[in-house]
Chain A
Amino acid sequence: MTMDWFIAGAVVMLVAAALSGARYPRVWLALTLAGTATLLAAAFWTLGGGAEWDWRSSFAVGGERMHLHLDALSAWFLALVAVVGGGGAVYARGYWPDDEHPTSAGRGRAWWSTLVLCMGLVLLCANGLHFLMAWEAFALSAYFLITLERERRETRAAGWLYLAASHAGTLGLFAFFSLLATKTGSWDLGPMHDHPELAPLFWVALFGFGVKAGMFPLHIWLPSAHANAPSHVSAIMSGVAIKMGLYGLVRFSGWLPLPSGAGWVVLALGATSAVLGAAFALAQNDLKRLLAYCSVENMGVILIGLGATLLGAANGDAAWGRLAMAGALLHVWNHGAFKALLFFGAGSVLHATGTREMSRLGGLWRAMPWTAGLFAFGSAAISALPPLNGFVSEWLVYLGLFDAAASHTRVAVAIVPATIALGVTGALALAAFVKASAVVFLGAPRTQTAAHAHECGWWMRAPMLALAGICACLAMAPAAVWPFVSRLLAAWRSAGNGGEPPVPLVTLGSMHLALAASLAVAAIALWFRARTNGVRRALTWDCGYAFPTARMQYTGGSFAALAVGWFGWVLRPERRLHWPRGPFPHHADFVERIPETVLEKVIGPVGDVVMAASAWARQRQQGRLPDYILYLVAALAAMGALVLFGSI
């Protein structure tokens, strides 16, 4: 009964926020925070052991009665929606205020609350038709948020690409849900293990949800959309919206019977996304595009966990499968937290300097110490370094994979390459984030805009600090979240043989605490020792130049050049180089662009072929009526022949 009030209250508050967003910013902020807090409370109550909430309406929407269902799996994702939704709302007040963006700020606020509401509805809907409606509404709200800055051409192009890809995925989902409804006889969703004929539908769901989740060949919309959207929108898209695709995959892999080979395919796609996402991220010179590709990489890591789980489920519900799933689902939360933190930091940089281009930044730590520190914290977290939370979830996935490999069954053929891929991804991600944080924040400012940066206000700092705090809590006390994760796994698919093996999370948590304390003590002790001995400041020695310039620093492109060379077969960098000529060269330049390979080298040519074919077909349209009548008669004759001969 109380849950009814919670959910209803949250919905009412978010709708009111959406309506008031256009003109009353303070009311909007209060309502959005209250709504997200209510959602968070509902989610925690369910995760903490409360009963599953089920509600059927008496009225019909679109011919079907509404059926909402909140169990531990939905609650886990709902909590993430609430936290990032609330944090982003506070951030938007400092980042996208009315005085800087008079036309779009109000629109942004309204669509933000709508987005949070629609994502919550997607998580709650247990009826296929309403799931689709909520999904489409959520995709549209995201589109309007991405294109808040409609004046810029790149933003409009990014929005178009996002909309096209999103609708391609939604088409897949239409097919999936309709086929499901036809075969089971109702639009209602729930565990359906006794219908083995539903197994092939998993592939359709993989396509539909995979487009939204940013799985490797289907991720083409992600980099430009997340790079060109306003930073708080990028944060919620990268941190939460792509997790909606993942939610669909996880949910339906638990409810539907699985085709053979599902685990292998998901594991392979996950490993590919992880390694190639990290390689693409390392090659980028646009800060937000780098972060976007890193989201592809982390989705790959989660899919590796999910693939291992599906393999385990096919192999007698092995315990290592559930361990890998625990790691994958914990990574959902961890990634949401630190990716939102990183995007907020990138937004702070963009707000201060006006550019995302890393080769124009540098030395920002002096002017923006809070942003630099928090971005460094986020970088360490996303590189899965102890003692931070990214390590905890990847550790769990590794444990599952190692157990699977040690089981000496046939699955090791897929598990061993996946484990190696996970290791390689970690190293590539570390390289990418050393590049991102060092080129942007360390050294000397490369341009005047970087030299005149300023720190962001407290409206932007507070959400970053809150997210960093969440990361720290998850890192130091992972055992506290384990009961939630157990309930989550039970909600996904009830365990046949008694659940997951015991995992030494308490030991890991205490190790993290001890490590963090020793790191702090060591750093302070070394600093004091250096101070005691005497610290002298001097110019960086650059081979004896008396006046070193900022352009002597290593650039991001050079930093990544070695790895970009190794991955050149997929990255295909386009370089334009004008050499300096003569003893007193007066002009030289070097421009490097990393295209989005799948979009520009695969889908682009296919699109060109389609356009060429339709241009040829247009020659048949000459505007002459007799031609059109001929076409109609020919079509009718063909249909008649088909019916006649088809019935024989």
Chain B
Amino acid sequence: MARLAVWLFLAPLLPGIINKVKAWVAGRRGPPVLQLYYDLARLWRKGVVVSTLASPGFIAGPAIAWVAVLAAALLLPLGPLGTSLSFRGDVILLIYLLALARFCTAWAALETGSAFEGMGAAREVSYAVLAEAAVITAVLTLSMQSGSVSLSAMLTPSVGPGAVLLAVGLFAVLLAENCRVPFDDPNTHLELTMIHEVMVLDHSGPPFAAVLHGAAMKLLLFSVLLVQAVLPIGELSVAAASGAMIGGVLLVTVAVGFTESLTARVAFRRVPLLLTTAFLLCVFALLIAWKGGAA
């Protein structure tokens, strides 16, 4: 229950923190940290405009994607709170639940028959190929280090020297999967420069609220995964672990904010290069883990 509350109610805080950091770097005051909560409440009350071409899948898509992200989040151990359910191989279920969310978002994007969403969906599913390679390599590294395929066992031991490489690789994947600069700009609404933003262009009202909340949950999920893959949270006491977890997630969020402010979005032809670099970093972390185990 506490876990569910954290995922549902604390997730929308993160985009607010990122926007505040970006505003501070730019010398502005920026929107309030709780802005996303107000937006979600407002959208939940609004009506929906649906294209004449869209099938019922257009409304079901965001719902299914939201439940998939929430289910993946509940599988992830949340520091001292642990996880609702842990079994051998749950990490693979997590990866494929995120894939289910991607399938439904891309499906809903192509429902309206608009060229813009098609563009975004095409880019999203193509870049996901490289992002998946990086994620699988990172998970393999964690599995090799701990000798287990279960998230609660994988994330608790402290990470060896490959921690830095893994951290950078996972951070790049976080930026790619959550449509952050330098892969994608969450602020512009120009179709030619977007991946995720343009896929949800035609959603409105409660489905759009589901989309925004799901995106926030996904950001929190990747941040928690990153923090737990790098810091030995499981070995600290409860109070220290909660402090480390909260501190770590805040650090990751502020880092995302700084990355968004200080770098520019790269041209689309360079995105595969960046993702391949992230993949190679994870491969090096894997090699370190393998050699460490063999020695």
Contacts and interface: CB of A to CB of B under 8 A. Distances in A.
A385 B149 CA distance: 19
Nearest to A560: B122
B63 A540 contact: no
A406 B210 CA distance: 38
Interface string A426-442: 11101100100111001
A467 B145 CA distance: 41
Contact of A534 (B47, B64, B85, B286): B47
Contacts of B132: 423-424, 426-427
Nearest to A437: B107
Contacts of A507: 85, 87
Interface string B274-295: 0000000000001000100110
A225 B188 CA distance: 47
The residue in B62, B132, B272 that gathers the most chain A C-beta atoms within 10 A of its C-beta is: B132
Interface string B83-115: 001011100110111011011001100111111
Interface string A588-607: 00000000000000000000
Given A399-B149, A507-B85, A526-B206, A539 B51 contact: yes
Contacts of A98: none
A438 B61 CA distance: 13
Interface stretch (B7-15, B135-143, B220-228, B237-245): B135-143
Interface size class of A (residues with CB under 8 A): 35 or more
Given A399-B88, A559-B122, A511 B93 contact: yes
Nearest to A525: B63
A526 B59 contact: yes
Interface string A350-385: 000000000000110110000010001000100111
Interface in B43-83: 44-53, 55-57, 59-60, 62-64, 66-68, 71
Interface stretch (A6-14, A151-159, A546-554): A546-554
Contact of B121 (A394, A412, A434): A434
B112 A391 contact: no
B35 interface: no
Nearest to A529: B206
A604 to B, nearest CB: 29
A570 interface: no
B64 to A, nearest CB: 5
Contacts of A188: none
Contacts, number: 244
B265 interface: no
Contact of A523 (B46, B53, B64, B88): B64
B215 to A, nearest CB: 16
B168 interface: no
A561 B47 contact: no
A537 to B, nearest CB: 5
Contacts of B106: 434, 438
Interface in A374-420: 376, 380, 383-386, 391, 394-395, 398-399, 402-403, 405-406, 408, 412, 416, 419-420
Given A402-B149, A526-B62, A443 B113 contact: yes
A394 B63 CA distance: 25
A480 interface: no
Interface string B204-217: 01110010000000
Contacts of B71: 515, 518
Nearest to B123: A562
A562 B122 contact: yes
B24 to A, nearest CB: 35
A55 interface: no
B128 interface: yes
Contacts of B115: 542, 552-554
Given A426-B132, A442-B113, A385 B100 contact: yes
Contacts of A437: 107
A504 B112 CA distance: 40
Contacts of A398: 89, 92
Contacts of B201: 541
Interface in A552-589: 552-554, 558-563, 566
B129 A424 contact: yes
B236 interface: no
B142 to A, nearest CB: 10
Contacts of A560: 122
B202 interface: yes
B133 A424 contact: yes
A539 B206 contact: no
B129 A395 contact: no
B147 interface: yes
A387 B123 CA distance: 25
A541 B202 contact: yes
Contacts of A290: none
B112 A443 contact: yes
Given A443-B111, A538-B49, A559-B118, A527 B56 contact: yes
A423 B138 CA distance: 12
Given A380-B103, A406-B143, A420 B118 contact: no
A385 B110 contact: no
A497 interface: no
A633 interface: no
A610 interface: no
A530 B114 CA distance: 22
Contacts of A535: 47-50
A548 B53 CA distance: 12
Contact of B103 (A394, A430, A538): A430
Contacts of B272: 566
B259 interface: no
A522 interface: yes
B33 interface: no
A508 B53 CA distance: 37
B40 interface: no
Contacts of A438: 106-107, 110-111, 121
B254 interface: no
Contacts of B111: 438, 442-443
A380 B101 CA distance: 11
A536 interface: yes
A533 interface: yes
B125 interface: yes
Given A386-B100, A562-B126, A420 B133 contact: yes
A419 B206 CA distance: 39
Interface in A474-527: 503-504, 507-508, 511, 515, 518-519, 522-523, 525-527
A539 B50 CA distance: 8
Contacts of A522: 63-64, 66-67
Given A402-B149, A434-B125, A438-B106, 7 more contacts: A365-B57, A405-B140, A408-B294, A443-B112, A519-B64, A523-B60, A563-B129
21 contacts: A363-B113, A383-B99, A383-B103, A386-B100, A394-B96, A402-B89, A420-B136, A424-B133, A430-B102, A430-B128, A434-B103, A434-B107, A434-B110, A437-B107, A442-B110, A442-B113, A507-B87, A530-B205, A533-B206, A536-B49, A554-B117
3 A-B pairs with least C-beta separation: A554-B118, A443-B113, A423-B136
